[in-house]
A and B are shown apart, each in its own frame.
Chain A
Amino acid sequence: MLSKEMNRLPIMPVIDHARCDGCGLCVTVCKCGALVLSGNTVAILEVDDCGWCTDCELVCATGALQCPFEIVAPEV
């Protein structure tokens, strides 16, 4: 479950810098350019065309990158 701090972040994938080993695999699979290598870790840019494909989360071996889904049940 995500922390309160993560819930307040803009709606982009979330990076846990303590876990990120800077391998850059997520950067290579990102289709929209939202992920960039910055020093020994990955930075996330706010972009309009992130389609939440979750490929970055899928390839991350350390679990540093997360693409959480809000679970929404509209009132009937």
Chain B
Amino acid sequence: MNITTENLSQLSYFVGVENDRLAGLPSLFNSKSFIKGQTIVSEGDKQENLHFVNTGVVKIYKTSSEGKEQIIKIVRPGESFNDLAVFGGSFCPYSAQALGNTTIIYWIHKNDLLPVMEKNWRIVRNALEILSEQARLLLALVEDLSFKNVTGRVAKILLQNATPGPEGYQRLTQYEMAAMAGTAREVVGRSLKNLEDSGAISLERHRIVIKDRSYLDRLAGLN
């Protein structure tokens, strides 16, 4: 796969970098195509490559010892992942899986990237902005998972919207529930799965069916 400076100029770390400064970079990059569902990196892997999505989309997630999955981030074209292992630690703190049919990933090893960064302040500034944004995202997730009773809030939202109106049942997306609960969509998805595992609801394609109203009442603090 031929990587050009134009390809690289679309990647988050190199946005705003003059084209002539990117001239030597394509030869330092590798690329590979992944199919939907294929694992790109696994949590705990020693992995010192900075990855970028060229086409397609990648899911970043962690898995608990019981097999429960928490999505951390969806990475879209131009965005990076595995930054944390590249700039410290060397071990990947999460797994990455291709969601798109043909997901093309570019990567550069840290030993090739760091000398380039030392010579170009704009790339360093981009990296700092990206890492700050990632830290902000992770802190928000910590707050949601540690301090907020998101499952209780989701239970309350389901109860409040379970009464059919003149036009039938209420319909809510996970983004709408997230906005109502003051959290991220990824956390709502996990909460719905938890409620389903506990038997309080069942997810039947486009329907959320309430199975145990009294359990949801208790979670929501309504009795």
When distances are taken between beta carbons in the complex, the residues of chain A under 8 Å from B189 are 54, 58
Chain B nearest CB, measured from A32 CB (Å): 12
B208 near A70: Cβ-Cβ < 8 Å: yes
Residue in A closest to B171 when the chains form the complex, CB atoms:
A68
Tell me whether B152 is interfacial, beta carbon within 8 Å.
no
Tell me whether B121 is interfacial, beta carbon within 8 Å.
no
B210 near A7: Cβ-Cβ < 8 Å: no
Bits for A41-76, please: 1 = Cβ < 8 Å to B, else 0: 000000000111011011101010011111111101
A58-B189, A69-B208, A72-B209 given; 19 more Cβ-contact pairs under 8 Å? A1-B176, A2-B171, A6-B171, A11-B205, A25-B77, A28-B57, A28-B101, A29-B101, A50-B205, A52-B205, A54-B189, A55-B99, A57-B175, A59-B74, A66-B173, A67-B174, A69-B206, A70-B206, A74-B209
Q: Which residues of B contact A (CB under 8 A)?
A: 36, 55-57, 71, 74, 76-77, 99-103, 158-159, 161-163, 167-176, 185, 189, 203, 205-210, 213
19 contacts between A and B (CB under 8 A): A11-B206, A25-B57, A25-B76, A28-B102, A52-B205, A57-B174, A59-B74, A59-B100, A63-B175, A67-B174, A67-B206, A68-B171, A69-B171, A69-B203, A69-B206, A69-B208, A71-B169, A73-B163, A76-B213
Q: Which residues of A contact B (CB under 8 A)?
A: 1-2, 4, 6-7, 11, 23, 25, 28-29, 31, 50-52, 54-55, 57-59, 61, 63, 66-74, 76
